[in-house]
């Protein structure tokens, strides 16, 4: 476990990363690597996200938890493309704010919630979710 000061510094670095505005160059790299502009902060491709749909067995009745969701990729994509209910969770406040804005812009607030929580202390009861993903999470 990281020392409290080291942990705080890491959290601040992640928060700064999520607070930074995307550049045209970053969007171009995202289109080339991931296959679209999805607001990713990682490397999960569209094809990999599509594979997750089948592997996780997602459908309209599924409840998905996306741990370490950052700006919401791929949880938002999975919810939009399957109709599942999803909870996006991450610790940096800037990531949670960005994900919340994306949920509102995509009009998914009836099916997608955003929670600020550490993956080591999730505020959910056992068996709350049918599937869990954690793409690009350390």
Per-residue pLDDT reduced to its tens digit, 18-69? 666 666 766 666 666 655 655 656 678 888 999 999 999 999 999 999 999 9
Dist. CA 129–CA 126, nearest whole Å: 8
Reported as a pLDDT band with limits 50, 70 and 90, residue 17 is: low
CATH value of 4-133 in 2.40.30.10, 1.10.287.4070, 3.40.50.300, 3.40.50.150: 3.40.50.150
Q: Which of 92, 93, 81, 73 is nearest to 133 (CA)?
A: 73
User: Can you tell me whether residue 98 is helix, strand or coil?
Assistant: helix
**H or E, element range at 113:** strand 112-116
**Which comes out higher in pLDDT, residue 10 or 119?**
119
pTM for this model (two decimals)? 0.77
**Strand pairing partners for 85?**
63
């Amino acid at each position: 476990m990281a020392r409290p000061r080291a942990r705080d510094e890491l959290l601040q670095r992640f928060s700064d990363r999520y607070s930074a505005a995307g550049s045209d160059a970053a969007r171009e790299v995202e289109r080339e690597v991931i296959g679209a502009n999805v607001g990713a902060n990682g490397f999960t491709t569209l094809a990999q996200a599509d594979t997750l749909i089948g592997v996780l067995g997602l459908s309209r009745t599924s409840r998905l938890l996306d741990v370490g969701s950052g700006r919401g990729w791929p949880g938002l994509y999975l919810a939009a493309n399957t109709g599942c209910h999803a909870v996006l969770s991450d610790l940096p406040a800037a990531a949670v704010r960005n994900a919340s804005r994306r949920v509102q812009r995509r009009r998914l607030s009836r099916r997608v919630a955003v929670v600020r929580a550490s993956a080591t202390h999730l505020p959910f009861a056992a068996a709350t979710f049918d599937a869990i993903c954690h793409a690009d999470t350390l």
